[in-house]
Amino acid sequence: MLTELFTPSVQHALDIVGIFVFAISGALLAVRKNFDVFGIAVLAEVTALGGGIFRDVIIGAVPPAAFTDLGYFTTPLLAAGLVFFLHPHVERIQVAVNVFDAAGLGLFCVSGTVKAYDYGLGLTSSAALGLATAVGGGVLRDVLANEVPSLLRWDRDLYAVPAIVGSVLVVLCIRFETLNAYTSGIAVITTFTLRLLAMRYHWRAPRAYNRRSARGEEVPTGV
């Protein structure tokens, strides 16, 4: 069980940190899109909690933790307020925000995978839901902001791949009965490190074979 890997207080603190950083990224995008204060709050909440809510609904852990723990719900509002008043200063520490975002990615893909398995999903399904937990909020954020989700764009540094690696490491540990606080920590650190390296060296997933155009082209729907 997840509670056997970390104490409840440690797990809760890690969750709050991850939620806060994800909420910052959502609120910053809302500011760049010139959203009003309500839009900033909505995008912060969706980015921070969307993946976890999706996971909990799928596995039947209802009501989702986001609605039963006041801290989970209010933390994105705090982040939204911070960005609303101090967004020029927050923008200047974007590198630090990206580092914490990478840490949140690692934490959420691991905790999401473990929780999915605890609720009876198979190893493959658990890994997939761990990935969804980590990146789901970002996808919803981009959709609401009328943008192509970042993890689908070839011109963005790898984001989903590090989370996939972390989720796969967790299910391998479960399969070989070696999952504990240390091995789950290794999975978090691996995801975190891969994401940082992707940002540092601009690693990107390959596009379709032999495709050289830098611009997307629409596929004709008829003659």
Q: Is residue 208 part of a domain?
A: no
Within a domain: 219: no
Q: Which residues span the domain enclosing 184? A: 2-201
At residue 151, the pLDDT reads 85
The list of the chain residues with pLDDT below 50 reads 2-3, 217-223
Whether 207 is covered by a domain: the verdict is: no
Nearest to 161 by CA among 169, 170, 151, 153: 151
pTM for this prediction: 0.88
In a domain, 46, yes or no: yes
Q: Would residue 153 count as lying in a domain?
A: yes
For residue 94, what pLDDT is reported?
78
Which of 9-46 are b and which e, b meaning 16 or more Cβ less than 10 Å from the residue's Cβ? eeeeebbbebbbbbbbbbbbbbbeeebeeebbbbbbbb
Q: Token pair for residue 25?
A: 């990224």
Task: Tell me if 133 is assigned to some domain.
Answer: yes
Q: Which residue from 174, 136, 191, 183 is spatially nearest to 1, judged by alpha carbons?
A: 174
Within-domain flag for 221: no
* Position 192 in a domain: yes
What is the pLDDT, as a whole number, of residue 2? Answer: 44
Number of domains in the chain: 1
Q: Which residues lie below 8 Å from residue 181, measured CB to CB, with a gap of 6+? A: 5, 6
